[in-house]
Each structure stands twice: as C-alpha cells, then as structure tokens.
Structure 1
Amino acid sequence: MDRQDETLQGNEKIEVAIQALQKEATQELLAHTLTVIRRRMKDSGQVIVAVEPSIGTTQMNLKMIQTSDGANWWYAFTSFNEEMKGADSVKSTFLVDIDKLFDAALTVPEIKGVILNPWNRTLMLDKGLIRIIKPE
C-alpha cells in the first residue's frame, strides 16, 4: 500500500494527465493537464516540496533545481512514490498547498517556476502556465 496523505489523494489524476501529455504533447492535453491541476488546487490539494535549512536563520528554503539554461526552479512531488524515484533521496520535505506554492513562485523573481515530479512524470510550470492555472 502506498502511504498516502489525505491531502495528496487526487494527485494521481495529475500524474495520469502528465503521463498522457508526455506521450502526446498537444495544446489540448496541456490545457487538460492545467485544468486537472487547477481542480486539485481548488480542492485544497497539496504537493510535497523539498526544503533545506536557510544559513544563519531558523527558516527553511524551498530547494531549487537549475536547468541547463541556467534558470532556477522550485520542485514539488504529487506523491511519495514520485519523490522516491529521485537519484538523490530528498532529505527534508513538507506538504504545501498547491495554491500557496504557486502564489509564492509568482512573487519570487529569481524563480522561473515549479517543476512537478522532476524525476519521472515531469511537468515544468513556468510563471506563464502558473498564471493560466491561477489567474490573479
């Protein structure tokens, strides 16, 4: 049995939508995937984020991935299964509302966006796509 937090239930719909999009990258499937994410967000869905201690403070920072173009991204997982597929196991994680994660990503200039499931069923949500999911 997959250990699943109640707030992650329903995220498998996001994984299925991303998987379909990976097989056939069309505008229709992208729109469908963004709609599925929006629905999970409106249902108070959460994702798992990786954190690291902030040097010199008691706060935690969201971990970043740098892509080959030099852009910095936050990353999040739709399930514990997705998190475990990583090459390096993530040390510290916590659950965050999809809504709040997107709000924060839109306000941090040095972040390009959020990568869902960076190891497997991956979707890179830049700020443009986040704004489509979450209009102001």
Structure 2
Amino acid sequence: MDEKKDKGLQGNEKIEEAILALQQEPTEELLAHALTVVRRRMREQGQFIVAVEPPSADVQEAVMQAAGTAMRLQAVQTSDGKKWWSAFTGFEEQLKGSGSVMSTFLTDIEQLFRMTLTAEGIEGVILNPWNRTLMLDKHLLRIILGE
C-alpha cells in the first residue's frame, strides 16, 4: 500500500521526525515538541493504524449482531506488567516488527486517545512500538487533548 494515498496518514511523518529527535536527545523541550506535533495532527483529523485482536469463537456471534462494535484493540504488555494499546503512524512502521499478520484499521487520533482515557487496565498508547517509539500515558494524552 502506498501511504501517500491514505489521506489520514499524510503528515504523520512529522510525528516520526519529532520522535526521532526526542530519541536522539531526550529533553523536556523535545518531548513538548513531540506532543505538540501529535496534537497538531490530531486537530488536522489525522489517523493512526491500530491492530485489533481477532474475535474469539464466543464473541463471533455478538460481532455478527453488532457489526464491528465488539472489536478489541490489541494490547502490548511492557516489562513492568502494564498494558498499553499500540498505534502506528504508517504502514511501514507497523510492518517493522510484527512477526505475524495483524488485522488493522485506521482510527481517528482523537477518538483513540479519548477511548484510552476511559479504558480500564490500559496505561496509554505506545506509538510505533518497534522503532520510532513514543509512550503516551494517560497524563500525556490529557496534555495533548488540552484537558
């Protein structure tokens, strides 16, 4: 797939560049810059790619009845045992580390962040867990959302 064709992902390379700068020099200023770039993309109705878990057999029936409302985002567990949702700025990032084929879909950045804030047992969102990684806990998500 050509990223240029997907309007919702256009501009996300700015997020990757901001994360790269932060990785090279982890300062408060560069973190603030990265959060600002994410906020800007969110306000431009930008999108991320998220991975979803395939429904289990018992959920299959509910999914057919509710057409997609039973989708569960795939969570990754960090070494401290906390669970995070992962999101990707582009298809290249998504393909870098996945050993398996994932079911993915595009989601609105703001919608994902708001869902995360209300999700129990989820710490936040890890952007690009394989490479240009930025861990956005609920505190940082509130900052991005301007709350």
Query: What TM-score results when the alignment is normalised by the length of structure 1?
Result: 0.95
Q: CA deviation at 1:91?
A: 1.7
How do 1:14-93 and structure 2 match up within 5 A? 14-55=15-56, 56-57=58-59, 58=63, 59-93=70-104
CA shift digits 1:77-111 (9 cap, x unpaired): 00001011014144200000000000000001210
Tell me the secondary structure at the aligned position of residue 104 of structure 1.
helix
Where do residues 88-103 of structure 1 align in structure 2 (5 Å cutoff)?
88-103=99-114
The alpha-carbon deviation at position 52 of structure 1 amounts to 1.0
> Between Structure 1 and Structure 2, how many residues are aligned?
135
Which amino acid in the other structure matches residue 2 of structure 2? R
Runs of 4+ in structure 1 off by over 2 angstroms are 53-57
Give the aligned CA root-mean-square deviation in angstroms. Answer: 1.1
* Runs of at least 5 residues in structure 2 that lack an aligned partner in the other structure: 64-69
For 1:87 and 1:115, how far apart are their aligned partners in 2?
A: 14
In structure 2, what is the Cα distance between the partners aligned to 1:123 and 1:89?
22
Contact 1:18 1:121 in 2 (8 A): yes
State percent identity of aligned pairs.
63
State TM-score, norm by structure 2: 0.88
